[in-house]
Structure 1
Amino acid sequence: MPQQRTSPLRAVPGATPKERAALGRAARKKAPRSSHQAYEPPAGRTDPLAVLEAQSAARVPDLVPIRYGRMTESPFRFYRGAAAIMASDLSGTPDSGIRAQLCGDAHLMNFRLLASPERHLLFDINDFDETLPGPWEWDVKRLAASLVIAGRANGFTDRERARIVRVTVRSYRESMIRFADMRNLDVWYTKTDEDRLGAMAAGRLAARGRKRVASVTAKARTRDSLQAFGKLAEVSGGRLRIAADPPLIVPVADLLPDAERRVTEGQFRKLLRGYARSLPSDRRALLADFEPVDLARKVVGVGSVGTRCWIILLLGRDHGDPLLLQAKEADSSVLAPYAGASTYRNQGERVVAGQRLMQTAGDIFLGWERVDGLDGKRRDFYVRQLRDWKGVAEPELMPPRGMAAFGELCGTTLARAHARSGDRIAIAAYLGHGDVFDRALETFAERYADQNERDHRALVDAVAAGSLPAAGERENGPARIPH
C-alpha cells in the first residue's frame, strides 16, 4: 500500500476527520478559548524601540529615518511597521498548538484587490514578507487589533469597535467551520471575486458604499504595468529611464558612480537570469521576450522601509510594451525566533512558497533569487510585478458599518488561507459554534491597542528627543477600497 501523503502542518498524519475534530476540542484544555483575551506586557518585555533599532541595523541607513517618520504619524501607522514587536508579544500568549501557514502581518491594510492570471479581480491577502508556519491565532489577533486601532483613529465608540471585532472573528470562525465540511479541492478553489464582493456590498452597505465599491473595482483594473509605466518612466538624454522622485525612487544612475552602477546593473541582470529559473517554463519564455532597460531603488510600505527594494523596467516588442518588476529583499521572518526557522534556505523562496500556499491566485511573475555582493553581502530577493490591478483599503474613510463589512471579508479570507495549509477540521472544532473565542478577541484587541499606543508614544518621544532620526514625508498609495 503506498504511503499516505499528508499536510506538513497536520498534527496527526493519517487521522480521520473525527479524530482531527477530537484533537481540536482537546486543545481547549491546553488553551481555553476564553484565555485568548489575555494580554499583559511581561515584566521583562523587550524594549520596542530596541526591536526597531535591531531591524534598522540591517537596513539602508539613509532610508531608516523615512521609516521612523512614517511610524510616528499615528498609532495605526506605527502598528503597520511593528510586526516584529507584536510577534514577540504574541509568543507569550495562549495558543492551541494547532499550526497553519501564517501571513505574519495580517493587519487590515494587507487585504486588498488583486488580479488573477486569468484577469479576474480577487480579494485576498497581499503581503507575505513575514510568512511562516505558526499558531493560527497569531494572524487572527493581529487582524483584530488592527481594526480596533483603526476604529480608535476614526473616533468609534467602545461598542462600535467591539462589534467590528466580533463580526470579523465570527466570520473567521464560521468560515473555518464551513471549510471543515468541504472537500479538499473545494477549499482550494474557493475565492472571493468581484461578483462575490459586489454581492456582499449589496447586503452590507448603503447605496453610497455600493457605488464606491463599484468605482474602486473599476479603478483597480487601470493600475497595471502600463499605468505604472506612464507614471514612473520618462525619456531623458534620448533614452527611456525610470523618473527620479527622491528619496522614494532613485534611479541607479543617480544613486551610484558609473563604476559601481555598472556592477550593480550586472548583478541585477544576473538576478533576472537566476530568478527566471524559479518560474514555470511558460513564464520563463514570456520573461525572455522582455529586455531590461533601467533600474531604480524604491522605498516601499512602512515596516519594509529600509530593506533593499528595486524596480526594474523592461521592454517587450517596443516602448508601448513595458513590464515593471519589483525585486524586494527578503530576510528572516519576524516570527522565526518564536515559531521556528524556515525550512527554506533562500528567504525569497520562503516568501514565494507561503504566498502560493495562502493566496487563491498569484502574480504570474512571482519568483525568487539570491544576489552575491550587493552592498557587500549575499542577499535574498523575491520578485513580482510592481503593479497588477490593486486596490487598498482606506480605513480612515470607513464608518463603523463599513469597517465591520470589511472586517467580515478579511475574516473569511484569512480563514480560507489558513484552511489551505493547516488542519481546518481541528481549528474549526477548537473554535466551536459558540462565540467564546470571538468575545475573547474583543478584549485582547483593546488591550493590545493600548500597548500599541504606548509603544507609538515611546517612538514619538524618542524622535522628539533626538534619540532616533525621522524624516517627515508621506507615501503615495494605490487605488483605495472604500467603505
Structure 2
Amino acid sequence: MTTTSDTSENLGKKAREKVPRTAQGTFTLAPKRPTVLAAIKESNYDRVKELIPIRHSRMSASPFAFYRGMAGTMAQDLSFLPHTQLHVQAMGDCHLMNFGGFATPERNLIFDANDFDETIPAPWEWDVKRLATSFVLAARHNSMREADAREMAVDVATAYRNAIAEYSQMKTLDLWYMKFEMEGLVEKARSEKVKQMLRAAISQASKSTQQKVFYKITQSALGNFEIADQHPLIYHPIDLNKQKDMVQSFLNFYMRTLPDDKHYLFNQFKIIDIALKVVGVGSVGTRCLVALMMNAREEPLFIQVKEARTSVLEAYTAKSKYKHNGERIVQGQRLVQAASDIFLGWSTGLEGRHFYLRQLRDRKIAPDVEHFDKELLAAYAGLCGRVLARAHAKTGHGNIISSYMGKADVFDQAIGKFAVAYADQTEKDYAEFMKAIKAGKLPVEKA
C-alpha cells in the first residue's frame, strides 16, 4: 500500500533528478538581460512623474536599498535558473524588510510577512533565494565579515528546511491556526539580547495606535481636521469636495469586497480627508494614499489606499487568475498570513487603476535591521525562514519540498553560495545605477 509520505518522498527525489540540490547554488546572468538603466526606466513606467526622482534617491542609499527596488530584475534572473517547478503562493518580493509585527483582529501581536504587492503562485525557491540574498546585503551593509554574511543566508535556508519538514507533518487545521505570537517568541528566544529586542518591539507597537497616527499627521483647519501637507512626501492630489462623488463611488466598490460585518463597521466612518503619502522604496511613485475617516464619536480611522500593479513575477509564471490586481494581492495575503487586517479589500479608481486598502500602522513593528549585530541578524534570519516555511507549507506541496531538500545541509549551502553570488551582482548593478545618476541619466531628489 502506497502512503502519501511515500509518494511525497518519491516526488521529492524525482525533483532532485531534474534539479540537483547543488544546482540551487548556480547563478549565471539571464541571456539578453536588460541594462540597469533600461530596467530602471521600465520599472518607472506609469509612476507619478514628480516622485520618480525620490525613488531614485532612496534606491541610491545602498546596494541593499537598490535591491529592494529591483524585484522585477531578480524575477527575470531567477526564471532562467534551475528550479523545481513546485509552486506555492509566493510573496514575490520576499526580502527581510517585508516581514514584521502587527496586531491580529483579536488584538494579539504576531510576527508575519507583511508585503504582498507582487504575490502570485510561483516556484518556492524564488522566495527563499530573494530572502537569503537580502540577508547577505544587510550583513554587508552592517559591516559584518564576509563569512558571517554568507552564514546569514545559510541560516535562512536551514531554518526554512527544518521548519517546512515540521510543518508538512502537522495537521492541516493546526497549520492554518498557527501564529508566531510576539510574546511566545520572547519566551522561546535563546539569548537575553534577543529577548530585549523583542520586548522593545512589543513596547513600540503598543504606542503605534490610530490615535497616535492622528496626532502625528493631522492638523486643525477652521475647526476641522485634515492631513497636514509635508511636500513632497505628503500632499493633496485631489480636491475632496469637488470629487466627493468619485471618492464615494470608489469606497462603495471597496465595501462590496468586505464581509458584511466589516462593511457595517466601516460604514460607521465617514471620509474626512485624503492625501498622497510616499512610502517605502520600491513603491515610491505608485499611487499610495492615506484616507482619514471619522465616526460620530470623532474616533479616527486611517486607511491606506495603495495602487496594485501587475506582479513583476507574472511575466515569468502563469497569468494571475484574478483580473483585478487588488484582489490578487488581498487573496494572496489572506492565504499567506496567519491573520489579516479586518479592513483588507480592493477597489478600482480613475482610469481603471487597481487599488487595495488596509488600515495604516495598526500596531505595526518594523525591524530596525540597520542596527542589528551578528547575533540579532542571525536570530532574525531564522525567524523569517520559519515564517516563510509556514506560508509555503500552507499553500504548496510542503511535504514534497521537504523531501526534495532532505535532512542534510546540501540545499542550505547551495542557497548560501547563490545568495553571495547574487549579492555580488546586485552590487555591480548598483554601481551601474550610480553611474547613470552621476551622468544625469536618472534624476534624483532627496526627501
Q: Shorter-normalised TM-score: what interval? A: over 0.9
Q: CA deviation at 1:268?
A: 2.1
Q: Quick check: 1:354 aligned with 2:332?
A: yes
Deviation larger for 161-170 or 416-425: 161-170
Match of 1:456 in 2: 430
Q: CA deviation at 1:318?
A: 2.6
Deviation larger for 81-90 or 210-219: 210-219
**Counterpart code for 2:294:** L
Length-normalised TM-score, structure 2: 0.97
Quickly say closer, same or farther: Cα 1:92–1:43, change in 2 above 3 A.
closer
Give the number of equivalent residue pairs: 446
Q: Point out where structure 2 has 5 or more consecutive residues left out of the alignment.
A: none
How far apart in 2 are the matches of 1:43 and 1:85?
12
Q: CA deviation at 1:276?
A: 0.6
Residues 9, 403 of structure 2: 8 Å contact kept: yes
Secondary structure, in 3 states, of the residue corresponding to 1:58?
coil
Superimposed CA distance per residue, residues 172-231 of structure 1 (whole angstroms, 9 cap, x where no aligned partner): 001000012111111111111022210233x1x3x3442232122111122121111111
Match of 1:270 in 2: 249
Secondary structure, in 3 states, of the residue corresponding to 1:76?
helix
Match of 2:153 among 150, 162, 165: 165
**Counterpart code for 1:343:** K
Match of 1:388 in 2: 362
Q: CA deviation at 1:326?
A: 0.8
Match of 1:97 among 79, 85, 91: 85
Match of 1:142 among 118, 130, 134: 130
How far apart in 2 are the matches of 1:80 and 1:267?
34
**What do you get for the CA RMSD once the two structures are aligned?**
1.5
Match of 2:315 in 1: 337
Superimposed CA distance per residue, residues 379-414 of structure 1 (whole angstroms, 9 cap, x where no aligned partner): 111000011011111222111111110000000000
Match of 2:275 in 1: 296
Q: CA deviation at 1:94?
A: 1.0
Q: CA deviation at 1:43?
A: 4.7
Match of 2:183 among 195, 203, 223: 195
Quickly say closer, same or farther: Cα 1:79–1:265, change in 2 above 3 A.
farther
Q: Quick check: 1:378 aligned with 2:352?
A: yes
Match of 1:245 in 2: 230
Residues 102, 131 of structure 1: 8 Å contact kept: yes
Match of 2:261 in 1: 282
How far apart in 2 are the matches of 1:291 and 1:415?
40
Q: Quick check: 1:183 aligned with 2:171?
A: yes
Secondary structure, in 3 states, of the residue corresponding to 2:412?
helix
Identity of aligned residues (%): 41
Deviation larger for 321-330 or 386-395: 386-395
Superimposed CA distance per residue, residues 258-284 of structure 1 (whole angstroms, 9 cap, x where no aligned partner): 5xx545443222111110111111100
How far apart in 2 are the matches of 1:172 and 1:344?
29
How far apart in 1 are the matches of 2:442 and 2:426?
18
Residues 111, 410 of structure 1: 8 Å contact kept: yes
**Counterpart code for 2:265:** L
**Counterpart code for 2:424:** D
Q: CA deviation at 1:16?
A: 3.0
Secondary structure, in 3 states, of the residue corresponding to 1:105?
coil
Secondary structure, in 3 states, of the residue corresponding to 2:207?
coil
Deviation larger for 58-67 or 230-239: 230-239
Match of 1:328 in 2: 306
Q: Quick check: 1:426 aligned with 2:426?
A: no
Q: Quick check: 1:125 aligned with 2:113?
A: yes
Q: Quick check: 1:415 aligned with 2:393?
A: no
Q: Quick check: 1:222 aligned with 2:215?
A: no
Q: CA deviation at 1:246?
A: 1.0
Residues 133, 423 of structure 2: 8 Å contact kept: yes
Length-normalised TM-score, structure 1: 0.90
**Counterpart code for 2:118:** E
How far apart in 2 are the matches of 1:63 and 1:234?
24
**Counterpart code for 2:347:** E
How far apart in 2 are the matches of 1:469 and 1:262?
34
**Counterpart code for 2:221:** S
Q: Quick check: 1:465 aligned with 2:444?
A: no
Superimposed CA distance per residue, residues 63-86 of structure 1 (whole angstroms, 9 cap, x where no aligned partner): 111100100111011011111111
**Counterpart code for 1:133:** P
Q: CA deviation at 1:56?
A: 1.1
How far apart in 2 are the matches of 1:366 and 1:421?
20
Q: Point out where structure 1 has 5 or more consecutive residues left out of the alignment.
A: 1-13, 474-483
Match of 1:368 among 346, 369, 372: 346
How far apart in 1 are the matches of 2:244 and 2:389?
42
Match of 1:480 in 2: none
Q: CA deviation at 1:47?
A: 1.6
Q: CA deviation at 1:34?
A: 0.5
Secondary structure, in 3 states, of the residue corresponding to 1:156?
coil
Q: CA deviation at 1:114?
A: 1.0
